[in-house]
Structures are given as C-alpha cells and as structure tokens.
Structure 1
Amino acid sequence: MADRLYTSQKTDEIISTFRALSKLDKAIIARMAFVISLVENGKNVARSSDFSGGEMKRTSFIANDEIFLKTLINQVYQSDIADDNEFYSNKSIIKDHVDNGALLLWQIFQKNGEDINQWYSEIVASIKLSGNRDVKTKDLDIFIGRSVLQNNDFIMSLNDTTKHANSHLAIMGKPGVGKTQFLLKILADVRVQSNHQTNFIFFDYKGDVVENETFIDVTRARTYKLLQNSESLPISPFILPTYTEQDIQLSAREKAESFSSINSKFGVVQKGAMTQVIIAGYESRANSDKPFPDFSDLLQIASALYEEEGKNDDTLIEVLRDLANFNLFWSHGSAVPPIDKISNRTMIIDVHKMPVLKELVGYLVIERLYKEMTTLPDSQIKDGRRTIRTILVIDEAHNYLSQKNIFLEKIIREGRSKGIVVFFASQSPSDYQQKFFNFQELLEFSYIFQCDGASAKEIQDILGCSAKTAKDLQTEISRLEPFQVISRGMSKTDEFAKFVGEAFYKNY
C-alpha cells in the first residue's frame, strides 16, 4: 500500500501559490483540486505522468475519510476500485484528479483577475448543499484563565442554557492590557471545539487581527481588507428574503434611517430622497435574475433625480458616491456572485484603512445578518446546550456603540433562540450603557481588564455586586496587571472573581 504520491511540478507550484495566498493547508487545496476535477472530468480525467512535484502523504490527504473518498470515486466511476494502488499512488485516480484539478483551480484564479478572495468566493458559491446541514450542538466550555490566588481553572460555559440566559459577551480595558489576545483565544477555541461549525464575523477596527496569520490559520477565516488592493465584500446589503412591494418599502425606509443615525448631516430631506432612490433601484432591477440594486445603481438614480429637480449635490450624493467609487460591496457585473448567506461564513472585515464609512459598513452588514437571522429556524438545544451558529464580533466597540443601530439591538434581544451571538471589545464599562439602549443588561459574560475612570455604579451594574464592593474595586481595576481580569463571581456566594486571562499567542 503506497503511503504517498508525488504531484506534477505544475501542481506543486499552483498549490504552493494558493497556500501562500489563502493560508489553507496544502492537503485542503489538494482535496479541492481532487473534487473539482472529479466533478468536471469524471472518469474521463487525463492521466498524469509527471511525478516531479511535491510529496503528498496519504495520511495528510485522506485523514479519516478513506471510506468516503472511495465511495465518491465508486459513484463517479460506477465500479469498485480494483486495488489500493489504483486508489492512492503515483498511478492512482486521486493523483490524476489532483493534477488536473489544480489546473482547473488555476483557471478560476486567472478568470478572477488573480484575486484570491474572488477565487475563493466563486468556488464557495458553486457549492450546492442539500438536506439539513445545520450545525450540530457542541459543548463550548472554554478555558479562559486561572484564579490569581488559588490557581483554579476558569471555564466559560458559553452555550450552557442551564447556567446562562444568553451567550453575549463584552471585554473592556485600556489598550495594551491583553483584551484582544484574550478575545482571539476565545474565538479560536470556539472554532476548534465546534469543529469549525460555529462561525464568526469580525469587524477589525485596528487592522491587527487581519494580519495575524496564526489566528487566520486556526480559525480558517476569510479576510477582506477594505480600501486595500481594490478588495470588496462579496455581500449585497440589498438582498431580501422576498421582494414584495411592502418588503422593499420597509427596507428602503430602514436603510434611510441607518444612514441618518450614522451621519448627523443626513436630515429629513435626505432620508426621504434616499427612500425614493432605493425603491427606484429595486424597480430598475425587478425583471433581472438578481432583483436588487447596487450602490452604483443608486448613485446614478440619485444624480439623475437631483439634476431633474435642479438640486446641488448634498450629503446623500456624497455618501452614495463614496460607497460606489470605493467599491466596498458587491456590484452588478462582478465576476463573483454575492454571498447567499453570511451566517455560515467566518470572515474578518478590516476597516482600519477607511477614513469614513466604517460604522456604515458595519451597520449594513449587521442589517444583512439580522434579516438573514429572521429566516432561520431556532437553533438546536441538546442536554441544555444550544447550538451557536454565528458570533458577531465588534472590536473597538466604543467607536460604534454610540450609534443607534436598531439591528444590533434586535440581534442582542432576539438572537439567542437563533444561535446568533454578539461579542464586544471596548475600552470602558461606560460604553455599554447608552441613553437609547442599555447593552449591559443583555450581556451575560463581562470581563474587565485594567480601566481608568470606571465608576462604582458601572462596576456594580456589570458585576452585580454590592455598592461597597464596587467602590472598593475601582482602585483595584485601575491597577490591574496586563491579562489580569475582574469578572462576575463563579459561584452565587462570590461577588466577583479575579483571574489571569489566557492569551491566544500562548495557546496556538
């Protein structure tokens, strides 16, 4: 039985290129090549006689899926594999399909302008799933640190409904105290412990997470660096579950409110015009296979409307022009179709290069996630454990929480039953108590790193401790060492707990 094969030189070069660009394992890319060739070429695949490329060990490629892979081949070839060398060797079916499939992957890459994200999106978009593919319930008991005095393990039971009302989480602390590393450790553990079935959408406001190659490898996240290398999100904010007149009008009004809440110069007149323009955008695409507009459509319609009415450009035109020209979202004519669902994707959206529109991009993606959430069935509960589908992660949340985002509020209120969870990272406990919405009341997990100026009332509200204990903790919180954390007590008799948080870089 052969325990390895050697790809062609060209295949080795292609796989190495995709490995460097996508951060996917070589074995995963080789499997992708095998599958795409099996689908495209079937049993008519060309024989490969070039063995001068890289080594592909049997254990790496096959892992625990030998029966599954043999079943696929038998189904396509309509006959049983004669011997093991026909299955995996330098003269095997797998070798032929890997080498031929690599060329097919490369053709897709070239077709998409050698843009790795568009390449990946086209491949994912071509996958057709059938049947019940919902994630299965997992025990998400996350090791987050050890107590300062007793050195006891601290375990966060993220999806245990017998202990916690929801799974929303907030981490707060000044820069440089370890909160981002703590957050990344939790996210990485969730991905690994759920077998990568629980996803996350991460808004990276500093641009440091998107550059963490180890984190991207561990979590298998796709990265989108907006305003860098002409990269855009393959997401349309205008996709709706249904396109009735009422749905379109409601969506148009909601988006106009969204723009108004983000931009103080967006007044009543602009909101009315925006609503009118969006409705016209849907009408212009009503008879197409994608019955929703993009921002170029809206800019064209708005410009024509203003010219007809003799109006000068204002905030509405400026915002639409930026959204269209910056190419932030999917647009008609793109070589890659828009993502059908975002709740089953793990992605890091880097907005740190954007001088404006950071919050608006976040708002539109969150709105899309909420609209999708409402169509999902309730997530499964087994033995008290609820399936978590997706975690919405907002870093540097103090820049965002002051914006009145009705969809974020709805996700926090309604997401529990759908398995949609929100994680925040910000600088102060005060960020979560806004006049229009008290986020703190619905945050089940709260972790305080070193903070300056936290009031006793804020500490009391977060920890649920007495006023005296909160006052005593004010000074201690301001003097915490990096990675030291104050949280709610681990038992009913403890008013608070103090532990040393785990860092991602120490665990992965």
Structure 2
Amino acid sequence: MVRFKLDIESTELLDRITNIYNFKRDTITGRIALSLSLEKGQDFLLNDNNLSQNGREYTPTSNIFGRLVNDVDNFVLYKAIFDQHYKKELSENDFIKLYKFHLKDGLQIWNNQLNNIDITKGEHISLLLRPLKKGLTLRSKTIKTSSNIGKVNVKEFNDLLTFDIGETEENEVIEIRINDLREFDNRNIAIAGMAGSGKTQLIKDILYQISRNTNNELKFIFFDYKGEGNPSQLKTFLEATNSQFVDIVNDGGVEFNPFLSINLDEKQKPFSIRAFVDTISAFVPKMGVNQANILISLIDDLLDRKKGEYPTILDLFQELENYYEEKGIKQDTLFSVIRDLSTNIFNCDPNTPDILSKSLYLNLPPALSDTLRQLVVFLLLRYFNSYFSSTNDCEPKDNIFPLRYVIVIDEAHIYLKNRNARKALEDLLRLLRSKGVIVIMLSQGVEDYKTKDFDFASQVKLPICLNVQNKDYKAITSFIGTSNSKVKLESELRKLDSGKGLINIKEPKIINLRQFWKTINNS
C-alpha cells in the first residue's frame, strides 16, 4: 500500500481546518477537501512539477483514504474515481501525484472560504453544510462539456512561437516565448485595461505576430463582444492575419452547427444533450426545468430520427414550434431565443465547414440582445471544449509545447459576472492548457478576474496590466503576482498610462506596448 509525503502548506492547512471543526482526524478534513476540488472539475497535468515533500508523511496505517468494507483501505475506490476523472488508467505514482494536487487545491478552496466568514458566529458550520446538503459531487445548472470517446488527431504547430509585447523604458524588447516550457507552464493570457488603454491594438498586434510567425498555420477566433468592427476598418488586420470577418447580424450569421458538440455515442449522448441544454438555460432568462426537459426530449427525438447525423438549429425550432402549437403553449423567451438562433445566428447545414479550419473575427453587434451574444459565444466555446477534450494531450519535445488554436475573448468581464459562464471559462482554462490552445481574455479592470468563487489570474501565466481605473496595490498584485520589492512595484505602477503596460516577469516593469497600427505603418 502507498506511502507518501505532503508539502508543508497542505499540512498546515489540514491542521488549521481540522482544528477549526474539531475533527477527530485530519484524514476526515482531507477527504472533504478532495471532494471540493473534484466537484469543481479541477484538472492537473502530470507534467506539472511535483509538490515538495517537506510536510506530513502518510503510511499504509494512516487511514488517509478511509476504510469501508471488511476494514479494507479505500485506496482502490479513490484511484478508480481518479481514473474516471482523467479518463485513463493512472499508475500508482501518477495517482498519488494528482491526489496531492487535488488535496492542496481543495484545502485552498476551503481555507479561502473560511477567511471570508465569521467563525465566531458559527458560519463555518453553515459553510460545510451547504455542499453536504446538495451532495459534494453534484454540479447543478452549470455549463458542462461532453467528451467524445475516440481521440481526434489535430494539426499542431510544433516549433517555438514567439511574439513581442513592447519595450521597456531602457529599449529592452520584451519577447514572449509562449510555448517554451522553461518559461511558461501554461499559455493562458489575461489583459486588463480600460477603454483607450491600447488593449485592442495590443491584441491585434499579438495575433498579427502569431499569424506571421506560424505562416498562418495557427488559427484563431476573436470574439468581439462590443461589435464595433466593420470590414473596411479592419481590412488591414484581416489581410495581415489571413482571417475572415463575420458580422452576426449583417452577414446572416456564422457558418457553424452548435449541435456538433453533442456526442452521438449512445452511452454519452444523454449527458451531451443535457450539457447542451444547460448552456442554453444558463443564458435564457426565466428558463425553468420544464422548458429544459422539453428541449432535451425534442433534441433526443431529432437525433434518433437523424440516425447518426446532426440536425440543425432550424430543425430544432421547427420541432419546438410544432410542440408549442400542439400543446397550446404560448410563445415565451425560450421560443424566441431558439427562433433567433435558427434564423439570424447559425447559418448552417449538417455539412457546414469546420470552423477551426480558418481564422475568424466574430463581430457581435449591440443590435443583438445580451442573451443572444453571450449564448453565441458559449455555444462555440462548448464546441471547442468538446472538440479538444476528444484530442490527445500535446506531447512536448525539447521543452517546446505544440500549439493548435487561439481563442480571444474580448470584454471578458461580461461573462465573468455570470456564475454559470464563470464555471465554463474556468473549465475551459483548465482543460485546454494541455491541448495546445492559447486562451486570451481581455477585460477593463484587474478586479474582474478575481470572483468570489474563483481567481482566474491563478490560471493565467501571462497577465498584462494596462492603464486601469483601479490602481489599488492589492488588486494589482493579485492580478500580476506579488513582487519581491513593493517599492519597485509601486514606483512602476505610478507610470501606468495610455499605451503603457505593467508586467511582472522576474520583476515588475513598465513597457511601451506594441500597437498594431504602429506596426503596420512602420513595416
């Protein structure tokens, strides 16, 4: 049976929480913490650095996994849960490594929650009762993603990818080696900056460099939530990146079939349909359980009749229209949303081209409701999540991590305000880091990335702070990371202005940002 050591931070958190609840053993605390991590759908990579082993040791007699039947250790049960969670049979060493990651993650989640309540009033008891009452593994009304059984092989860019983000005041060029594992263990990027700070021109320049430096092999999608772009204004950018501009309203929708995210395997199909409907219900106002069940039933019937082929959103609307008429149900918001998705949004047939095969600038103008704009984004994100989850993990070679795709989410704060959307973004960041997908989020302030239930900056390796309204030291450090010198960081922070950015790579630095319009004019 297993023997292993924890790191000192996990040990200290175990002791603190065990003492707060007066549990008889710290192993009780550990099992609950593990459930909290698994409940959130957390994933870790086996090639992540091992945690240190300077904490408490657990031996075969420590009862860390508990005992259930005939006084037998539950190790086998826990390993089976992990095998299912990671969709492969783990070796004993891999299981223990991942177990320690999840234990630490769950302890940190629990400890952060305890730090935000009044223990003297007994609020810690209520805190624990909430997940116990609903079931520690129940994930209700969240946007889930399906996973195809067969692994899909996709084209990879296997060379080193670099791009510049600007220059320091001493004219030092800041080059980002985004897929060099010696510098970045994940490739997610977050940019914070208010209107006029230069973030749009910076991200255009980054995408231009990515397209140029990969010979347009690495494709991207840019979700422009503001919807202020037009083909004539963006002509130079579109030509430079070999990308296609699609205005959801004026171009009659995007060529994409959102049903492609549903797994047609008979064992997986019910869960995939439920996940698809959960995505819709997360954004449609006042959509209840009854409406969700109607959609599930109609989609299931459609798929059965199609016999291995996908229906379209128009097929679904026609089914819904007939059902409402037959049952005498008045048209409601669900009816309106499905109608709009079928007539103005998704212009597709079952043989629509693969959306991943081209770079796409998706314009979402304010003429669309917030409901429709957000739903379009997350139906596409569901597909990306589903598609890439069916692919093999990228295999690094000589410390270079292969790349497959780039997703840019503008105005990310819009989605981060939605609890269900936050969960989908959290899953996206965690899953896709091993699949060679770069996720770039842009928002107006650093505080947008730290929500009450998740710190998105923790899943980002390259945070870039542009000129923001809230220059609070604590908020900034939470976003870009703590500096070795508070004085140095505060000094650099005072220099933030339009066209400048603050990074914290090795030390805090103010940089003059790359701007696409300047790059093109100087080329």
TM-score normalised to structure 2 length = 0.65
Aligned to 1:483: 499
In the alignment, is residue 378 of structure 1 matched against residue 390 of structure 2?
Answer: no
Distance in 1 of aligned mates of 2:483 and 2:429? 26
Distance in 1 of aligned mates of 2:163 and 2:449? 24
From the superposition, tell whether residues 447 and 200 of structure 1 become closer, same or farther in structure 2 (CA, over 3 Å): same
How far apart are residue 240 of structure 1 and its match?
A: 4.7
From the superposition, tell whether residues 374 and 300 of structure 1 become closer, same or farther in structure 2 (CA, over 3 Å): same
- Residue 253 of structure 1: which of 250, 266, 274 is its match? 274
Aligned to 2:202: 182
From the superposition, tell whether residues 132 and 459 of structure 1 become closer, same or farther in structure 2 (CA, over 3 Å): closer
- Mapping 1:199-238, distance limit 5 Å: 199-206=219-226, 207-208=228-229, 211-230=233-252, 232-238=253-259
Distance in 1 of aligned mates of 2:329 and 2:280? 20
The answer as to whether partners of 1:199 and 1:344 remain within 8 angstroms in 2 is: yes
Q: Give the 3-state SS of the residue equivalent to 2:403 in structure 1.
A: coil
Distance in 2 of aligned mates of 1:309 and 1:145? 61
TM-superposition CA deviations, 1:203-254 (whole Å, max 9, x none): 1123337541111111101221111042x22211112575123333212211
Aligned to 1:196: 216
Q: Give the 3-state SS of the residue equivalent to 1:382 in structure 2.
A: coil
Distance in 2 of aligned mates of 1:401 and 1:218? 31
Paired letter, 1:348: Y
In the alignment, is residue 316 of structure 1 matched against residue 337 of structure 2?
Answer: no
TM-score normalised to structure 1 length = 0.67
The answer as to whether partners of 2:257 and 2:346 remain within 8 angstroms in 1 is: no
From the superposition, tell whether residues 283 and 373 of structure 1 become closer, same or farther in structure 2 (CA, over 3 Å): same
Aligned to 1:298: 316
Kindly report structure 1 stretches of 4+ aligned residues shifted beyond 6 Å: none
Distance in 2 of aligned mates of 1:478 and 1:264? 43
* Structure 2 unaligned residues grouped into runs of 5+: 1-151
Distance in 1 of aligned mates of 2:465 and 2:417? 20
In the alignment, is residue 141 of structure 1 matched against residue 141 of structure 2?
Answer: no
From the superposition, tell whether residues 368 and 470 of structure 1 become closer, same or farther in structure 2 (CA, over 3 Å): farther
Distance in 2 of aligned mates of 1:372 and 1:133? 10
How far apart are residue 346 of structure 1 and its match?
A: 1.1
Paired letter, 1:452: Q
Segment of structure 1 superposing worse, 379-388 or 218-227: 379-388
Paired letter, 1:486: L
Paired letter, 1:324: S
Distance in 1 of aligned mates of 2:298 and 2:493? 50
In the alignment, is residue 435 of structure 1 matched against residue 456 of structure 2?
Answer: no
- Residue 498 of structure 1: which of 496, 503, 510 is its match? 510
Aligned to 1:307: 325
Q: Give the 3-state SS of the residue equivalent to 2:416 in structure 1.
A: coil
Q: Give the 3-state SS of the residue equivalent to 2:496 in structure 1.
A: coil
How far apart are residue 413 of structure 1 and its match?
A: 0.2
Paired letter, 1:448: C
Paired letter, 1:358: R
The answer as to whether partners of 1:284 and 1:293 remain within 8 angstroms in 2 is: no
Paired letter, 1:349: L
Aligned to 2:287: 266
Aligned to 2:343: 325
* Structure 1 unaligned residues grouped into runs of 5+: 1-130
How far apart are residue 344 of structure 1 and its match?
A: 3.5
The answer as to whether partners of 1:137 and 1:380 remain within 8 angstroms in 2 is: no
How far apart are residue 507 of structure 1 and its match?
A: 1.4
Paired letter, 1:246: K
Distance in 2 of aligned mates of 1:439 and 1:344? 29
The answer as to whether partners of 1:168 and 1:412 remain within 8 angstroms in 2 is: yes
- Residue 306 of structure 2: which of 285, 305, 314 is its match? 285
Aligned to 2:101: none
Distance in 1 of aligned mates of 2:343 and 2:437? 32
The answer as to whether partners of 1:449 and 1:477 remain within 8 angstroms in 2 is: no
How far apart are residue 353 of structure 1 and its match?
A: 4.6
TM-superposition CA deviations, 1:435-464 (whole Å, max 9, x none): 343211101111111111244332121222
Aligned to 1:363: 378
Structure of greater Rg: 1
Paired letter, 2:353: I
Aligned to 2:353: 339
- Mapping 1:18-57, distance limit 5 Å: none
From the superposition, tell whether residues 188 and 381 of structure 1 become closer, same or farther in structure 2 (CA, over 3 Å): same
The answer as to whether partners of 2:157 and 2:404 remain within 8 angstroms in 1 is: no
Q: Give the 3-state SS of the residue equivalent to 2:331 in structure 1.
A: coil
Q: Give the 3-state SS of the residue equivalent to 1:275 in structure 2.
A: helix
From the superposition, tell whether residues 324 and 343 of structure 1 become closer, same or farther in structure 2 (CA, over 3 Å): closer
Distance in 2 of aligned mates of 1:399 and 1:132? 33
From the superposition, tell whether residues 218 and 398 of structure 1 become closer, same or farther in structure 2 (CA, over 3 Å): same
Aligned to 1:350: 363
How far apart are residue 156 of structure 1 and its match?
A: 1.2
TM-superposition CA deviations, 1:146-171 (whole Å, max 9, x none): 112x2211111111111111010011
In the alignment, is residue 169 of structure 1 matched against residue 183 of structure 2?
Answer: no
The answer as to whether partners of 1:344 and 1:389 remain within 8 angstroms in 2 is: no
Segment of structure 1 superposing worse, 317-326 or 363-372: 317-326
Segment of structure 1 superposing worse, 463-472 or 412-421: 463-472
The answer as to whether partners of 1:430 and 1:454 remain within 8 angstroms in 2 is: no
Q: Give the 3-state SS of the residue equivalent to 1:348 in structure 2.
A: strand
Distance in 2 of aligned mates of 1:438 and 1:482? 26
From the superposition, tell whether residues 504 and 433 of structure 1 become closer, same or farther in structure 2 (CA, over 3 Å): same
Aligned to 2:434: 417
In the alignment, is residue 447 of structure 1 matched against residue 460 of structure 2?
Answer: no
- Mapping 1:396-411, distance limit 5 Å: 396-403=411-418, 404-405=420-421, 406-411=423-428
Q: Give the 3-state SS of the residue equivalent to 1:326 in structure 2.
A: helix
- Tell me the C-alpha RMSD between the 2 structures: 2.5
The answer as to whether partners of 2:284 and 2:337 remain within 8 angstroms in 1 is: no
Alignment length (residue pairs): 363
How far apart are residue 382 of structure 1 and its match?
A: 2.5
Distance in 2 of aligned mates of 1:480 and 1:505? 21
The answer as to whether partners of 1:460 and 1:467 remain within 8 angstroms in 2 is: no
Q: Give the 3-state SS of the residue equivalent to 2:325 in structure 1.
A: helix
The answer as to whether partners of 1:202 and 1:347 remain within 8 angstroms in 2 is: yes
TM-superposition CA deviations, 1:283-337 (whole Å, max 9, x none): 23226xxx112122111212222233332222211111111221434146xxxx3
How far apart are residue 472 of structure 1 and its match?
A: 6.7
From the superposition, tell whether residues 425 and 271 of structure 1 become closer, same or farther in structure 2 (CA, over 3 Å): same
Paired letter, 1:497: K
Distance in 1 of aligned mates of 2:488 and 2:470? 12
